[in-house]
Amino acid sequence: MNMKSIGVIIGNRDFFPDRLVAEARVEIVDLLKKLNINGVMLDTEATKLGGVETFQDAQKCAALFRAHRDEIIGVLVVLPNFGDERGIAETLKLADLNVPVLVQGYPDDLDKLDVARRRDSWCGKISACNNLYQFGIKYTLTTKHVVHPTDPSFIKDLNDFVAVCRVTKGLRNVRIGAIGARPGGFNTVRYSEKILQRNGISVVTVDLSEILGNANKLTAQDSKVKERLDKITSYASRGRTPDDALIQMAKLDVVLGEFMAANALDATAIQCWTSVQQNYGCNVCTSMSIMSENMMPSGCEVDVTGTLSMYALQLASGSPSALVDWNNNYANDDNKCVLFHCGNWAKSFLPDIEIATAPILGTSVGEENTWGALAGRTPAMPLTYGRISTDDPRGVMKAYIGEGRLTDDTLKTFGNRAVAEIPNLQNLMQYICRNGFEHHVVMNASKTAGILKEALGNYMGWEVQVFDEPAQQPYPSRVPDRELVSQN
């Protein structure tokens, strides 16, 4: 399946010049090819110039889209002229793909507003969107109301739209493994499986004893254990990690991989605190880091919605995410804080990565039982942060997202650590505390808040608060009678 296939509808209206449709088709095909996007559209022989105008055209285009249902992740509506508003809406209704839709309209030239050369796409786009709204079809707008396909803003819009499609498709079908019970001291990561399932998100549970029991059946001589041991030692410097701890880590890694494969999982949330250390004798952080680096995110403390957040940010950016604690203030700087965790961040965040112990956890379970945690400092890089949660009392999904940057400011501590600079940080912390969000947040080395806002708010229908600007309001929900969370 080509994850970058999009359907293309070229709208037309009979009293506008046909050549506008022919020219637009050539331009769109050329752009999609340059961006490595596969376009699914009518042949020029199927309808007049391959455009959609009549109900019969809509039927043909919808049939084509249905035939490629498993490939198409979104639909681009192109308006080289006013377009037929009903033909576009009817196509999408009949195709019933339930995917994101991007609406583009061509600009007119001031010296070509005569009957023979005018487009009127400015007006036609409003009519097309009006019909989509009437039909209950969700859609995305370009940054400029009308824009030529070669305009840099449209190229960015289209690439962002593909990312929105990727996030939406991924979240509607994701399967997350909940490995072990939530640690007793972490009420903060409680969530509703039922609310998640209503949104297409499946959770597959397993008792930690099954995982540890299967790991204990393996030996250092098993070929698959040796193979995983080689992968672990080539992934990160072993530091002072004892051989027996590395073998324990490798055995556990084998079993986790087999469980994920058997259940077709996309991500995992693991009971890493404190049963693994007490009953098995090592940390699972290195395995979690490897999975996250390989785009199969893994979160701590059975934080399922935290892992879901990792997956969403990964889909938006195409790069690994990390689950972190909002952990410390940074001196007296109101817009900086310390992000921290015992040590399971993806290698992409840790150029100085080394296998080590977890000193804080070691105070209660013995530091010798915590080999497998990772040590490393994250350097300066872009930052998108975010958190998805189930608001169980209200029965809704909610999220906050924003952007900032990771810095090279001095930080003398252990574990996985970073310094973040975030505009409006104090108001963000107020919002998190007032609205019952978890102490975990996800970081990603990207600038993708706009993509996440569109995917989570518009297409998933979740309540989304963006923290780019101090006065920004939550994304309006399209679900009737849904109470929106106040920023106060």
Q: What is the mean pLDDT of residues 55-62?
A: 98
pLDDT band at 264 (very low <50, low <70, confident <90, very high): very high
pLDDT at 290 over 70: yes
User: To 5 degrees, how large is the angle CA 355–CA 357–CA 360?
Assistant: 145
pLDDT at 485 over 70: no
What confidence score (pLDDT) does residue 116 get?
Answer: 74
Indicate left, alpha or beta for 96 from its phi (over 0: left) and psi (-120 to 50: alpha): left
Q: What is the mean pLDDT of residues 379-399?
A: 98
- Sorted by sequence, the CB contacts under 8 Å of residue 109 that are 6+ apart come out as 117
Burial class (CB in 10 A: 0-12, 13-18, 19+), 274: middle
| DSSP letter (8 states) at residue 371 | B
Burial class (CB in 10 A: 0-12, 13-18, 19+), 31: middle
The structural domains of the chain, with segments of one domain joined by +, span 4-172, 175-467
What confidence score (pLDDT) does residue 454 get?
Answer: 98
CATH code of 175-467, in short, is 3.20.14
What confidence score (pLDDT) does residue 17 get?
Answer: 83
What confidence score (pLDDT) does residue 472 get?
Answer: 42
Q: What is the mean pLDDT of residues 8-27?
A: 91
Nearest to 84 by CA among 21, 143, 38: 21
Q: What is the mean pLDDT of residues 426-439?
A: 97
Q: What is the mean pLDDT of residues 34-39?
A: 97
Each residue's pLDDT tens digit, 207-244: 999 999 999 999 999 999 999 999 999 999 999 999 99
What confidence score (pLDDT) does residue 475 get?
Answer: 44
What confidence score (pLDDT) does residue 3 get?
Answer: 52
Least confident range of 49-53, 112-116, 461-465: 112-116
Alpha helices in 263-317 (DSSP H): 275-279, 285-293, 304-317
What confidence score (pLDDT) does residue 476 get?
Answer: 44
What confidence score (pLDDT) does residue 479 get?
Answer: 38
What confidence score (pLDDT) does residue 112 get?
Answer: 87
pLDDT band at 18 (very low <50, low <70, confident <90, very high): confident
What confidence score (pLDDT) does residue 176 get?
Answer: 98
Percent of the chain with pLDDT over 90: 91
Between CA 71 and CA 481 the distance in angstroms is 34
Strands (E), 80-188: 101-105, 140-141, 175-179
What confidence score (pLDDT) does residue 14 get?
Answer: 80
Q: What is the mean pLDDT of residues 258-282?
A: 96
What confidence score (pLDDT) does residue 308 get?
Answer: 98
Is 4-172's fold the same as 175-467's?
no
pLDDT at 79 over 70: yes
144 or 342, which is more confident? 144
What DSSP letter does each residue of 334-353 carry, written as one string? EEEEEEEESS---GGG-TT-
Q: Which top CATH class is 4-172?
A: alpha beta
What confidence score (pLDDT) does residue 487 get?
Answer: 36
pLDDT at 2 over 70: no
Taking all residues of the chain, what is their mean pLDDT, rounded to a whole number? 94
Between CA 441 and CA 227 the distance in angstroms is 33
pLDDT at 155 over 50: yes
Q: What is the mean pLDDT of residues 52-70?
A: 97
